[in-house]
Amino acid sequence: MLEIWNPSTGQRIQKVDDDTPATIAAKYKLARQAQVKWAIKPLEERLEAIRAFRALIVKRAENLAQTLTLEVGKPITQSRREIAAVLTRIDYFLAESPRVLADETVYEDSTMSEIVAREPLGVIANISAWNYPYFVGSNVFVVALIAGNAVLYKPSEFATLTGLHIAQMMSEVGAPFFPIIGAGSAGAALLEQPIDGVFFTGSFATGQKIAEVASRRMIHVQLELGGKDPVYVTDDVDVEKAAESLADGAFYNAGQSCCSVERIYVHERVYDAFVERFVREVNGFALGDPLDDKTYIGPLARRAQVGVLETQVADAKAKGARVLTGGARIAREGNWFAPTVLVDVNHSMSVMRDESFGPVIGIQRVRDDAEASRLMNDSEFALTAGVYSRDESRARALLRNARAGSAYWNCCDRVSPRLPWSGRGHSGLGVTLGRDGLLAFTQPKAYHLRSG
């Protein structure tokens, strides 16, 4: 049995049956059979099933949002926003896939044709994180299904009820989608099945284990991992606007986004004004019951992360950092940590190097663009990077030099269905979203066709 906890109160919500190696093997067999029938359906029929899935999300939106908030602790307005925004993402997949998945004739003469066809991979495992189950899940399972794959979906053990809601809706629309319920051991058992690919979202540490298994099995692997996303605030900004935007980018969803702003470098000319405005913004955030519409910061989804943040703050303080606000766990039931701003930080500190994945930010003073650029790239992670400046060419030059899959000018913590989402280094391998993210769930077949 898997126990589901409410991170806001520390109370157990319920227990659910988890999968065993035997039930996982049985689901794999069902998925394999279903995939064959699914893949030969015309694309339009598969799209119709996804349209029906979308309609069920619309119908059940409030219930889905309440469940997400209950088990993950995400403030209810942010859960509603995730569910509303996933519809736009699905619309993009529905609109783009006929064009992207169509056969492409790349050469033709009087006797010879060369055509690239897109075939599904087969049965894929989607092992997912809890922080945005609708977003990071749909980037994989919706697109995989459209492309003709069957999906064995392992939601995070911290978002199990949401995973079961998704599975229920997929079953109602007749898609070959099978939930695998359990913790990491269920994910590991799933990888022992003869699947054709694994699409993983989660931490670098788990991603490494998945990559090892995938390389042994020689199967397709895609990894969306962590980030230590830097932003540089230059000396020509509107300090007020930049501080407001970056406080939101760092503390939305209590900082538990892969693209949350995790470290900020500020030009020395605007440093004091920026820090003062930033702290004022953070102190204005409403923290409390995530089911309350007024709450902006809720608890952390994982209890263990409270200890990680305590260790990062203690390490930073021991090395000379100052805490301007927060800095400790909050004494109430559940997994609470006060929104924390650290200054006088440097790269000898874990808080500037290791993913915090919580409501903690370090702000470092820099002399010039060159120092900012060097520090931004001084990380194993390389998911996103941002620059705040009035000068587009200055920002574009800095962003060209940034080691990151996504580059932001005067914005942050943003994902678009139209653009590829990818990490470099410890942030992962492969792409979701955009045209590349549709092709990721297919394999090309090259046809050499000679008439006569």
CB of 423 to ligand NAD, least distance (A): 5
Looking at 45-53, 68-76, 141-149, 182-190, which segment touches ligand NAD (CB under 6 A)?
182-190
CB of 50 to ligand NAD, least distance (A): 21
Question: Cβ–Cβ contacts within 10 Å for residue 208, how many?
Answer: 12
Q: What distance in Å separates the CA atoms of residue 16 and residue 2, rounded to the nearest whole number?
A: 5
Amino acid at 124: I
Active site residue 224: yes
Q: Provide φ and ψ at 423, rounded to 5°.
A: -120, 165
Looking at 32-40, 95-103, 123-131, 145-153, which segment touches ligand NAD (CB under 6 A)?
123-131
CB of 344 to ligand NAD, least distance (A): 26
Q: What distance in Å separates the CA atoms of residue 78 and residue 449, rounded to the nearest whole number?
A: 52
Contact pick of 187, 230, 386, 430 for ligand NAD (by CB under 6 A): 187
Contact pick of 7, 197, 226, 299 for ligand NAD (by CB under 6 A): 226
The answer to whether 430 contacts ligand NAD (rule: CB under 6 A) is no
Cα 2 → chain centroid? 24
The answer to whether 227 contacts ligand NAD (rule: CB under 6 A) is yes
Cα separation values, 244 from 77, 279, 355, 399, 412, Å? 19, 10, 22, 21, 11
Amino acid at 302: R
Q: Where are the alpha helices (DSSP H) in 319-409?
A: 369-376, 392-400
Nearer to ligand NAD, 148 or 428 (CB): 428
Active site residue 259: no
Q: How far apart are the first and last CA of the chain?
A: 63
**Which residues from 188-207 bind ligand NAD, rule CB under 6 A?**
188, 191, 201-203, 206
For the chain, how big is the Rg over CA atoms in Å?
23
Nearer to ligand NAD, 237 or 412 (CB): 412
CB of 305 to ligand NAD, least distance (A): 8
Q: Which of 71, 157, 258, 262 is catalytic?
A: 258
Looking at 102-110, 179-187, 282-290, 388-396, which segment touches ligand NAD (CB under 6 A)?
179-187
The answer to whether 211 contacts ligand NAD (rule: CB under 6 A) is no
Q: What distance in Å separates the CA atoms of residue 421 and residue 437, rounded to the nearest whole number?
A: 8
Give me the residue whose beta carbon is nearest to ligand NAD.
187
Q: What distance in Å separates the CA atoms of residue 428 and residue 227, rounded to the nearest whole number?
A: 9
SS3 24: helix
Active site residues: 224, 258
